[in-house]
Structure 1
Amino acid sequence: MQQISSERVKPHIVVLEATHVPIPGFDFPHTLTKYPLTQANEVEDRIKDADIVIVCVRAVTPAILAKAPHLGCLIICAVGIGWLDKEGFAKAGVTVTNCPASNVEAVGEHALALYFGLRRKTVELDTIVKGSMEWRDKVSLTKRWSTPPRGVQQEVVGILGYGAIGKRIKKLFEALGAKVLVSERKGKSVAQDDRRPFQEVLRLASVVVVALPKAEDTIDLIGAEEFDLMQEDTLVINVARGGIVNEKALAQALKTRQIGGAATDVMEVEPSGPGLSPLLTDKTRGEEEIPNLIVSPHVAWFTQGTITNYQRMIKEAAERWVEGTLEAEGKINPIVVVHNGTIEILRFHLGRAINQQALKFHLGHTLPPAMPCGGLSAKNILIFGATGVIGNYITRAIVDSKHLFERICVFTSEKTVLEKVQDICALESWGAEVFVGRLDDEQKVKEACQGIDTIVSCVGRAGIEKQIPLISWAEECGVRRFFASEYGTDIEYWPQSAHEPPHQLKLKVRAHMRTMKKIEHTYLVTGPYSDLYFGPMRNRPELGSFDVEQKKAVLLGDGDGPVSFTAMVDVGKFVVAALLNGNASKNATLIVHSFTATPHEILAEFEEQTGTRWDVSYTSLDRLREIEKEEYQVYSPLATVATLRRIWTEGGTLYKYYDESILGSIDTETIYSQVRASITRQEEGDVPVPSLLRMLSPV
């Protein structure tokens, strides 16, 4: 890292774009030079004497660093850093910070504003009323629509990009009653549990919101072929980056009325204006204005809240860099992008973990050989799916018990690293070694398996079948135990289980496991997660729902059928117990649970804790089976939910004996504690699965 020269009494700060954000005061002696704006050819001269440089979008390149011998810290007052040459700054030893997640609320709200402006034609009508007598002459301007516009509750919103901003937009639209579909990556053949295939989203959505980063694989993500898939009244809203939506193709789609309209906060060339984009025609040359288009000048981020966040992070970056506390007790501040020659925002370089022990392996050094499990407790663990729904809880439990293990490793995708950077940093800071690659990349998987005796798989439904080659590769690498992603409903409960659609991939995994010669297995059957069952089912309440805000419950069956539940936090406890008790878990299917309760008993607990009677309705088993058929007919992700809830209501979670006792004494959740947690989550508007970052943060 660059150090402030002993000859320089005070660090010198240079602000290249002070126009965008008021610069906060700093609690250390310094000198300050501010420029309202800076052109590219002015950067070199203006930063030549700087220790700290603050920029927004004006690029500072590694080539310029040689001309700035004192520069030690570059502070980027923005979320997006696509222009940054991270490797170049790492080699130069210059620290770089940015302002992660600082504009989530603002951009989400702006997406809604653009939507309403388009669908309700507020911008167009404002221009007409102020600039003509059309309203007076025609009495009504409703003919400006060919048909009455959709209300929000009639919209199907497709979200491209499911990071923090995409999640916020989803929450806002759902709060207004829209149905929301989250798109899988373009070209990916199998969608994750909470995603829909890219082309399917474009076909079904009446509103397409673009909220993903600009990268090589997202440039021109939406072009002529994609517009061909859309409906005539589909709206396209871009609050991401220019160039993701092909502007020429969009202009043509709008001119021909192929889609209903478009709104964008970003352009491929910025700042922009008439004649600089196919979307911004030059009327002085007789060019016709593009119809049904709203353009805002890259201001989606601009709110008081964002400015406050920017100022806080700028101040924190500068002061902690001067103090030398951006890294403390082995933990890196989340605002850091590059530090001490390392790209911290990814914590990886060219797919190699920077954790020193893992790095030694990747550079050709050897680690201890795999230790046979053979009934002994696991020592060296590799987790797949660590940041998923149940993976959060399992990983948290393992990390909490790290003193009982020698190594804890996590294998994750590059996408997860980018979208859940804080979670990954938290894991690494707590001692986990992180490997990056695809589940189908044999070389990367085998590299991660070196020195591992036990694999714990927590992959979601989209990754279930990919466990088959994982098992084979693990055995080849000397791994002795594989915990398959079996958490949930027993897939071999009764004879008809073999025919249930949600079970098919897990059954394939079990069949493959039986062909293995050396590797052992453990299956943990938990039944339904009470965390999810004890919540509202707003997409289709008939599938069972407990809505605290509305004080409404929809009970399955007659309400008296008992169901065996496991809290997700207890799943983690059971996995750790199984890891530590190799004899009990060797080649075993372990049946565990937290408690058993009927829907009526759950309702009674909600009424007791909320102090009021609830409105109650019922979904019979026959009706549940009808819903199941309906959802499968339209290829809905709720089809799997309907099948599982029908199985649970039929009694497919009940056992005479459970296996918790052979794993040792485990303090599990109760119906009281799970109802209390559900009430708290719903009142706070929180999701049922907290992030690893929050879960791993010391209290």
Structure 2
Amino acid sequence: MSSVIKNVIIAGATGSVGAPILKALLDEPSFNVTILTRASSSAKFPKGTPVKSISDEYTVEELTKAFKGQDAVVVALSTTPVARDDLAFRIIDATIAAGVKRLIPSEFGANNLDPRATSLVPVYEAKGKMLQYLQKKAAASNGKLTWTSISCGSWLDWALNPLKSGNFLFIDVKNRKATVYDSGKAPFTITTSRNTGLAVARALLKADETENKQIFLSDFVSNSREIIASLEKQTGDKWDITVKDSKPEIEALRKIYDAGDFYSTYPLLAISFVADVDVGYNFPKEQKIWNAQLGLPKEELDGVIKEAIELANRS
């Protein structure tokens, strides 16, 4: 069945996840892009882009009304609103009620159906339940609603930008220091934020090919030691490296999370990328990689590192 996607609405358009996706959508002339925002938001949006504002409660009724007439809904909301309550499920229910053809949920990270990931990081478990619910609802719709999920590993360009990520991977480019967990040689998939945004747009352009598919992206695979080696080579400086054992920190963070502190999931998420734990992050080893099929530009480690150094030198 041919599925032409023309009208696209995006939630979370100005966040770290949403900004590169919004740019890619707006750069594609075949899309009519609308932004969904909260009434209390003070975010500034590109001039001329239609905006639909709803209450902070994100009720199913309001979402359904906002989604009417849309061919696709792209969810780029941050981890907190997606994983802490049932917002992701309300969005799914609203897409069905509104007659939307395609939903791209807020995944963007690990394979959220992989028990290695969901058993270690609570946010992956929450997103996995959401994806299972989406698959169930899409199947029950008899093809009226379809889905595409996107897993991209880590955004190294974002992670090395302290203003955006707070040195997410424990690497401080400006001050030439880093923390390495365990051996520092655990491989993980890296996709740039710009290629992730492009992948969303291309997945909607290739709607038939990407229908009801998990899309795995990988610009390249690297590890903490390789990233730091490239940084040292390109800066010409010897970095201050601290080595830590991940096990006690993971155990402590899980206890904090289990005691009710949701925000402990963020350092736990970061450690899961760089520690000697198997979370299934080496996508090319286990999954079909869609970069070529989606026509994404090639990215390399040294190029991303060069950009990060130039950014740090300007700041």
Shorter chain as normaliser: what TM range? 0.7 to 0.9
Instruction: Give SS of 2:282's match.
Output: coil
Corresponding residue to 1:582 among 172, 187, 207: 207
Tell me, yes or no, if the aligned pair for 1:375 and 1:581 is still in contact at 8 Å. Answer: no
**Is 1:435 equivalent to 2:52 in the alignment?**
yes
**Deviations, residues 294-350 of structure 1 (Å, cap 9, x unaligned):** xxxxxxxxxxxxxxxxxxxxxxxxxxxxxxxxxxxxxxxxxxxxxxxxxxxxxxxxx
| Aligned position for 1:453 | 71
Of the three residues 531, 547, 565, the one matched with 2:190 is: 565
Equivalent residue in structure 1 for 2:113, among 492, 498, 512: 492
Shift of 1:449: 1.7
**Aligned partner letter, 2:118:** S
For 2:291 and 2:127, how far apart are their aligned partners in 1? 26
Question: Could you say which residue in structure 1 is the equivalent of 2:160?
Answer: 534
Task: Show the counterpart of 2:96.
Answer: 475
Contact 1:459 1:485 in 2 (8 A): yes
1:616 matched residue in structure 2 = 241
Once the two structures are TM-superposed, the CA of residue 664 in structure 1 deviates from its matched residue by 3.0
Question: Structure 1 residues 399 and 535, CA, compared in 2 at 3 Å: closer, same or farther?
Answer: closer
Residue 218 of structure 2 corresponds to residue 600 of structure 1: no
1:522 has 2:148 as partner? yes
Counterpart pick for 2:172 among 547, 551, 558? 547
Equivalent residue for 1:665, pick from 295, 302, 311: 295
Residues 42-57 of structure 1 mapped to structure 2, 5 A cutoff: none
In structure 2, C-alpha distance between the alignment counterparts of 1:375 and 1:628, rounded to whole Å: 47
**What do the CA deviations read for 1:396-430 (whole angstroms, capped 9, x no partner)?**
110111x122x2111101222xx22xx22x2x42x
1:243-267 CA distances to partner (integer Å, 9 max, x unpaired)?
Answer: xxxxxxxxxxxxxxxxxxxxxxxxx
What's the secondary structure of 1:679's corresponding residue?
helix
Gaps of 5+ in 2: none
CA deviation profile, 1:431-450 (whole Å, cap 9, x unmatched):
x2110103523443223222
| Cα contact 1:553–1:617 (8 A) shared by 2 | yes
Deviations 1:554-596 (A, max 9, x none): 1122022211111111110111110111122101111112211
Give the structure 2 partner of residue 644 of structure 1: 269
Give RMSD over aligned pairs.
2.6
Question: 1:307 aligns to what?
Answer: none
What SS does structure 2 have at the residue aligned with 1:389? coil
User: Which residue in the other structure is 2:27 paired with?
Assistant: 400
The alpha carbon displacement at 1:504 in A equals: 3.3
Contact in 1 for aligned 2:103/2:147 (Cα 8 Å)? yes
Any stretches of 5+ residues in structure 1 without a counterpart? Answer: 1-373, 686-699
Q: C-alpha distance in 2, partners of 1:638/1:443?
A: 29
**4+ residue stretches of structure 1 with deviation over 4 A?**
633-638
Following the alignment from structure 1 to structure 2, what is the Cα–Cα distance between the partners of residues 636 and 505?
15
Aligned match of 1:413: 38
Q: Which amino acid aligns with 1:460?
A: S
The Cα shift of 1:540 comes to 9.6
User: TM-score normalized by structure 1?
Assistant: 0.40
Q: Distance in 1 between matches of 2:92 and 2:68?
A: 14
Q: What's the TM-score once normalised by structure 2's chain length?
A: 0.85
Deviations 1:252-295 (A, max 9, x none): xxxxxxxxxxxxxxxxxxxxxxxxxxxxxxxxxxxxxxxxxxxx
SS in 2 for 1:514: helix
Task: Give identity over the alignment, percent.
Answer: 21
Per-residue CA deviations over 1:439-484 (Å, capped at 9, x if unaligned) read: 5234432232222111111111233231212222221221111101
The answer to whether the 8 A contact 1:531-1:674 is kept is yes
Show the counterpart of 1:556. Answer: 181
Report the alpha carbon displacement of residue 520 of structure 1 after superposing the two structures with TM.
0.8
Preserved contact between residue 110 and residue 117 of structure 2 (Cα < 8 Å): no
> Which one of the candidate residues 683, 687, 699 is aligned to 2:313?
683
SS of aligned partner of 1:404: coil
Paired residue secondary structure (2:153): coil
Aligned to 1:389: 16
1:214-233 CA-to-partner distances (Å, cap 9, x unmatched) read xxxxxxxxxxxxxxxxxxxx
Report the Cα distance in structure 2 between the residues aligned to 1:530 and 1:486, rounded to whole angstroms: 17
1:508 corresponds to: 129
Look up the equivalent residue of 2:307 and give its one-letter code: A
Name the SS for the 1:383 alignment partner.
Answer: strand
Deviations 1:611-655 (A, max 9, x none): 111121212232442452465377556521232234323242113
Change (3 A) 1:670 1:395: same
Larger radius of gyration: 1
Q: SS state of the match for residue 553, structure 1?
A: strand
Q: Secondary structure at the match of 1:663?
A: coil
Alignment size in residue pairs: 300
> Post-superposition shift, 1:544?
4.5
Question: Relative CO higher for 1 or 2, CA cutoff 8 Å, sep ≥ 6?
Answer: 2
Q: 1:150-196: CA deviations, max 9, x gaps?
A: xxxxxxxxxxxxxxxxxxxxxxxxxxxxxxxxxxxxxxxxxxxxxxx
Q: Tell me if structure 1 keeps the 8 A contact 2:111–2:117.
A: no
Mapped contact 2:219–2:300 kept (Cα < 8 A): yes
C-alpha separation in 1, matches of 2:289 and 2:132: 23
CA distance in 2, matches of 1:473, 1:664: 28
**CA offsets, 1:87-143, max 9 Å, x none?**
xxxxxxxxxxxxxxxxxxxxxxxxxxxxxxxxxxxxxxxxxxxxxxxxxxxxxxxxx
Q: CA deviation at 1:487?
A: 0.9
2:154 aligned counterpart, secondary structure: coil
